[in-house]
Structure 1
Amino acid sequence: MLARDIMNKKVLSISPDHSVSHAARTMLENRISGLPVCDDDGKLVGILSEGDLLRRAELGSAAWPSAPRDKTEPRAFTKTHSWRVGDVMTQPVVTVDEDVSIGRVGALMAANQIKRVPVMRAEEMVGIICRSDILRAIAAAVPDPIAGGDEAVRRAVLARLCSDLGLDRGAVEVTVENGTVSLSGQVESEAEREAARVVAETISGAGGVRNRLRIVAN
């Protein structure tokens, strides 16, 4: 599944010349936690989120540094006091191409600790993906179908153990009887043992898993 398959195509945006209070009201009225910021030509120039507004002068002196401590403080003062969205927004913006996989989108969100990612087609913003869109994709996911029969399940489990976990094909034995998968052999850690169980459980057609793998540290 790709970014374009789950993105919201109707994107509400604001101008860098809008006021911070207008932006806050817009987020509240539309029940959203962030807004892309676009210039007069529609070009994405930043993004304003709830996080950008947590240290505002309107919240009192405790929300922002009272005395300059380093060369970045003037910038912090501008961000906490300016009424212009353009001075407060986050930039540059983390974006994704519409043909990027949703797995990559989720990884970018986690790595950058962000809740939304604009989706681009060349220089044009064509949508936006929020964490809730990722959750909906997970909720709708179903196991990959495989051919029926114990031997097909055995081959699928063994292949996934090798490709996903990098386990040595000769170190793990997989048998399947009436859909129940039995794992035997040895792994190097409890984490590998549990991951092997999960691999077997996610194979469509596996009726149950007996995990008899032994832990043998190198």
Structure 2
Amino acid sequence: MKRNDPISHIMSRNVVTAHHGDPISKVRALVRQHGVHHIPVVSGDQLVGIITWSDILRVSFGDAFHTDERTVDATLDHTLSLEQIMQKNPVTLAETGTVREAAEILAGGSFHSVPIVSGSKLVGIVTSTDIIKYLLDQF
């Protein structure tokens, strides 16, 4: 295993993002459409937060009761804003970082993705799954 492999070797560059003013229903649709669980929130190309499927489930009781999707979306959009449930100022890694640094961040267990930035500009994302796939390639 290479100790200093650049994070650019495993990060996803085509990141599904939400804009900071988007309704929660749009984020729910992005999760379903793209099959992702971590969505960075941007203002222009600047990272301002991240929202996860777990964040949405935490406030979306309708999902637990098999309520109609449109009802859940309407309820969430009228009671909460994306800014209220997203994680502001997420832990990030510079695009010059290494796979090891990303693994160290994710090993903390508080979350399962790390946005990759150049300054405050979002340029990619790495998930726990990306790290596991990288490890599997090593063996």
Per the normalisation by structure 2, the TM-score is: 0.79
| Structure 1 match to 2:17 | 13
Is 1:105 matched with 2:102?
Answer: yes
Structure 1: which 5+ runs fail to align? 61-78, 143-218
Is 1:24 matched with 2:21?
Answer: no
**Which entry has the higher C-alpha Rg, 1 or 2?**
1
SS at match of 1:114: coil
| Structure 2 match to 1:134 | 131
SS at match of 2:40: strand
Higher relative contact order (CA 8 A, sep 6+): 2
8 A Cα contact 2:49 2:87, kept in partner: yes
How far 1:93 sits from its partner (Å)?
Answer: 0.7
Q: 1:6 to 1:93 in 2, by over 3 A?
A: same
How many residues end up aligned between the 2 structures?
124
Q: Which amino acid aligns with 1:115?
A: H
Q: 1:57 to 1:128 in 2, by over 3 A?
A: closer
Looking at structure 2, the residues matched to 132 and 15 of structure 1 have their Cα atoms a distance apart, in angstroms, of 24
| Structure 2 match to 1:76 | none
| Structure 2 match to 1:215 | none
Q: 1:8 to 1:17 in 2, by over 3 A?
A: same
Per the normalisation by structure 1, the TM-score is: 0.52
Q: 1:51 to 1:57 in 2, by over 3 A?
A: closer
| Structure 1 match to 2:82 | 85
Looking at structure 2, the residues matched to 122 and 112 of structure 1 have their Cα atoms a distance apart, in angstroms, of 25
The Cα RMSD (Å) is: 2.3
Q: Sequence identity, in percent?
A: 21
SS at match of 1:54: helix
Structure 2: which 5+ runs fail to align? 64-75
Give CA-to-partner distance per residue, 1:142-184, whole Å, 9 cap, x none: 5xxxxxxxxxxxxxxxxxxxxxxxxxxxxxxxxxxxxxxxxxx
8 A Cα contact 2:10 2:130, kept in partner: yes
Looking at structure 2, the residues matched to 98 and 30 of structure 1 have their Cα atoms a distance apart, in angstroms, of 24
8 A Cα contact 2:16 2:30, kept in partner: no
